Each structure stands twice: as structure tokens, then as C-alpha cells.
Chains A and B, each alone.
Chain A
């Protein structure tokens, strides 16, 4: 029988779960836990500069590893500062365990100092959450939190622990076994047979891959299905990298900023095989006009996604990997020459266009130059805005978990801390964070964390001194009434980075920007790479919000 505090028990349970790096910020109500954490020889704590940064650092680790990662905050403002990162993880199905301190139980409900009901606040943005009422309960709650975070459709789980529970002594005879994921749902083989039959009989099928393909480790199987059945394959923002961008069957990203030909191919599809995607409005445009002639096969681990937006002719509630393994032997090898040559002709007639791609002083040119200087081992994170869409369109993603972006929530400020998390999880890789000046300023304080950890993160700042996507929408859809989208002052980002102890390169001043860029990318350690871009360059094509995907403008 061992006696320990609730805080010590939590640390032991995290260690036993295999947690090796956590990110957080201490404060009054979580100090007993931090005191216990200081005694851990296995867990490295990364001190973020804002709790939202800690949340995204955990996300970065989770997005590259696929394993639930931990962030920590104190009660009150510490906990509320995590809210955006939790909501972001929820919408993108990222496994995360969030630990917050809470005021002592006797003070709950008294409006005590730094008391907020983070349990109540996070109900709609977590898979599940816990308010722990005794130290003994931690023996169940902590493994349960990890199990829930990683089972089925992954997501964030919050554990709120009052300070007295952290201090409470508890007798522990045996530790619970580390959590493992629940078994996958039973596969409906009759539905798989029917799906295979529909694929075999389709004339103009399209494969539509979502983030579930990445989460379940099914990217190679998805590519195999595409090759076997001759399926042109489109990917959502979350699925980029599932199939190499230059694969002959890849038709790139669909939706609001997809290529014209991609949306036209979907328009003509007679069968849509949707795998681990959820018919998000940015991907499908106006739902009633999406793939108007297509029957739908929908495979998803989350039963509530089936028939949610579009009714499926065959709905398969399954782990994507299990479903594809069962589907593959039932699908005929097909060349599908007529359809694929038609897809090729659409691609030739309505290609994705990258104006300026040979000039590293343009947005596409900068992205191409970064890609040219790196290999497929590099990890690419982005913030949110024009730069994010340009990178999604232009970067040659070739492997799953290479691409980290805030899809569902679209959180500006995501990029830098997520890149830090990615570098913590995979210290041998180069991590590039494409960002814009608007997004960068939303978590710029994490430059201090980056400098402290000395990680191999290269921030490529595409600076147009504006909220570019807002500027673009005001220009296109609001009668050019530009309001609150241009900054009137411009900070010196190079000085800011250097002030935080992060070396910086200004490509604007470089005689040979391509060489300066490559040199900065290849030098180990953190670096800010600053490049001014033209504010009048917009993301095209663009489907106006609420329009059908075929009603693209530009591009």
C-alpha cells in the first residue's frame, strides 16, 4: 500500500500512460500538481507564455504523434485561456487531455478568487469532461480521460481538479493499467459488399478523403483503393498528405479554395466515396448542389456524422482502416480509362494556377521556394488566413501528419505554438510554420518558449500588414468598403524576434532571397523568416460563402 497525494497520483498516472512532455502554466490552484510534477524524472514540462499556447503545443505533439497529449493550466483565467485550443481540438478531432486546477471544493460556487466553472464552460467543446471530487476517483478518471480522448473519433477531454483533491492523501494498492483505445465498432460486411458493388458499377466515381484517414493511419490503404479502382481522389483540408499531391490520381483539395477542375470533377461524379470526412460547408459549398448526380458511400467512425449533412446510400459506421481493409479485396481492379481521361482533360482546361511561382517574392513563389529547399521529412504548420489557403493549394504534401492546420475552428494564433509542439514531438525534423502578420501577433509571445526550448522551428512570416482574408472578402463581397482590415502601424517583426532571442532573416533585404531562405531553413534551431507580400493578391479560386462549389470566382 502506497500513500500519496492526489497530485502525486496524477503525475504517476501520466508517467504510466507514457506521457513524456507536457505544456502548461502554473498558478495558485494547480500548484500542488506542479509541486508533484517537479519530482518527475520522466516528464519534461514546457512552460508556455499563455495558456492558449500550451493548448496548441499539446495539439502540435498530438497532431504529429496521433497519441493524446497533455496541457495544464490553473483555475479561472488560466482555464478560460485554454478554451480556444480545446474547441479547436474538438472540431479537428485531436486527442488531448487537459488538466486544470480548480479552487478547493469548499469554495466552489462562492465566486472565489480565480473561480470559473470550466467544467460547465467546456461541456460543448470536449468529448467529455470531469470534475474530480476525491483523490481516489483519479485512479479511474485519468485512464478514462486518455481512453476517451483516443477512442473512436479522437478529441479533447478535460479534467478539472480542485486544489484540496490535489492535496488529499490517498492509499493506492495497485495502479490501473494504462488506457488503451476501445475496440473499433463491428463492421457491417453487408454494407461493405454493397459499397464495393457500387464502386465496381460506377462510371464516374470520386474518392473523397477526410481527416479520419489520417487519424486512423489509413492513408496507404486509401491510396491503394484509389489505384485499384481507378478513383480520382480529392482531399479535404484536414486530409492533405493522405495521398501525395503529385500522385496521378490526386485531384487536390476540394471546396472553397480548391482548384476549378477539382470542383468540376465532383460535379460530374456519379458515385462519391466519402472516407473519414464530414461534408463540412467549406468543403462542399451549398450542400444541396454538391455532387448533384452522385450516390454516396460514407465511411466514418462517428455514427452521428452519417446522414448528418448528406444522406448516404450506403453508410458504414467503422474505423476507416478496418473498413478499407474489408473493402479492398471486394473491389475490382479497373483502369477506368474513359473517366480518368475526362478528369485529365478537365485538369488541363481548368488547372490550379500559381501566378508568380518562380518569383520567391510572391506568395506562391515563397511557398514553392520553401518546398524546394526541404524534403518530405519536414513538417508544415500554418496559421489561419490567406497564407494557410495558399500553402494548402501549393505545398507538395506527400505524407500523412506532415501538415498541421486549424481546419474546423480556423484559429488564428494556431501556427507558432503548434509548430513548437510538433518540434518537441519530432525533434529531428525541420518544422516550418507559415504564418501571416495577423495570426502571428495572436500568439507571438510563444517566441519566448521557442527560444527557451531552442527547437528547430522556422517561422515563415508572409506579411501584408493586413487581415488579408477579411480584406479580400470586403473587397469582393462588401463593395470594397475596407474597414478594420488594414493595420495603420507595422511592427518590426525582425526586431521582435531578435528581442525574444530568436534569430531573424528579412528576405525583403536579401539580394538573393532564394539563397537567403534556403540558408535560414538549413541552419539548425529557431528562425524567423520575414517576407513582405502584396496585399492585393487574393486567394483564388474562391467559392463565395453560401454558394455552390461550381460558382467559383477567379483562378
Chain B
């Protein structure tokens, strides 16, 4: 099993969610996060005081999938989240040791 952690632009969340649903990925967790990569932040000015805001709002999507679907899922997320501009985000992939469904103790890929 693999865990996919995708950091994306907040306005791309709906597109990514729909695309994942379209290929049958049901379980996702999202969180509102702030951060930056190569994208520079923006400037805010309040009565002449300038603030450089370099931690920008992003959305983090986490989902765990069977190894066999890794390529398909990462390509789906990339395609849905891409604008082609700097700041589109990144996808990180981790190995997952096990998964357990709390309701009935299903484990492994059966729990996904």
C-alpha cells in the first residue's frame, strides 16, 4: 500500500476530488495548511506598512491506495491540479505498513 500526500492550490480541491471519485478512490482526508516552495508569496499593505506574506494557504490531500493503482492515482491528481504555473504544489509517496478498519478489524488492502 502507498500513502499519497498531495499539496495543491486551494482552488483546485474540487477538481481533484471529482477526478479521484471518477477513478473510484473514495477515501481521502484533506487539511488546510500553509507553506511555500519555490512560489514567492505576496505583499500586503496596511496604511503603508508592508508585509511580505510568504506562507501561502494550500490544501493537503492524503489518501492510501493499493500499490497497483499508484501510477493511475498520481497521474489523475497531477492532471486535475495542474495550472502550469509555479505554486501548483507537489505529490509525496510513502510506503504504508498496514491499515486497519476500526469498525470490524479488516486489515491490509481490504481495509481501504
Q: A and B: partners?
A: no
B binding-site residues for A, Cβ under 8 Å: none
Residues of A at the B interface (CB closer than 8 Å) are none
